[in-house]
Amino acid sequence: MDPNCIFCKIIAGESPSTIVYHDEQVVAFLDIHPAAPVHILIVPRQHIPSINHLTGDHEALLGHMYTVAKQLAIENGVAESGYRLIINSGPDARQAVFHLHLHLLGGREMRYPMG
């Protein structure tokens, strides 16, 4: 745990959040500033700052994050209407929280082209 990381604090129960799913590998909670009717963050319990910090050891964890996202899309009623999964990495992508997280966005038509 990084004591300066807001997502580590949420995972540790030291900061408030609306947790919608958790297991031994990941925690998922509602984004505090939702950008769509459904906006959930899927977060590994392990403090990994960004995609740049991934190693081969994290491959199963990343796959699990996407499987959890798919399940949450079903449970939140957007699996058929559609949804977008996003991981921002670094300044140009405007990553704001340096604890890896997968955004699940749905419930409205997404803008296109992306970016």
Q: Considering only residues 5, 31, 79, 85, which one is a binding residue for ligand AMP as defined by CB under 6 A?
A: 31
Q: Which of 36, 40, 73, 95 binds ligand AMP (CB under 6 A)?
A: 95
CB nearer Zn ion, residue 7 or residue 83: 7
| 76: nearest Cα among 26, 7, 18 | 18
CA distance 73 to 85: 10
Cβ 77 to ligand AMP, closest distance in Å?
21
Q: Are 62 and 32 within 8 A, CB to CB?
A: no
14 touches Zn ion by CB under 5 A: no
Angle of CA points 48, 79, 52, to nearest 5°:
20
Give the catalytic positions in this structure.
Answer: 101
Q: Which residues sit at the interface with ligand AMP, rule CB under 6 A?
A: 6, 17, 29, 31-33, 41, 88, 94-97
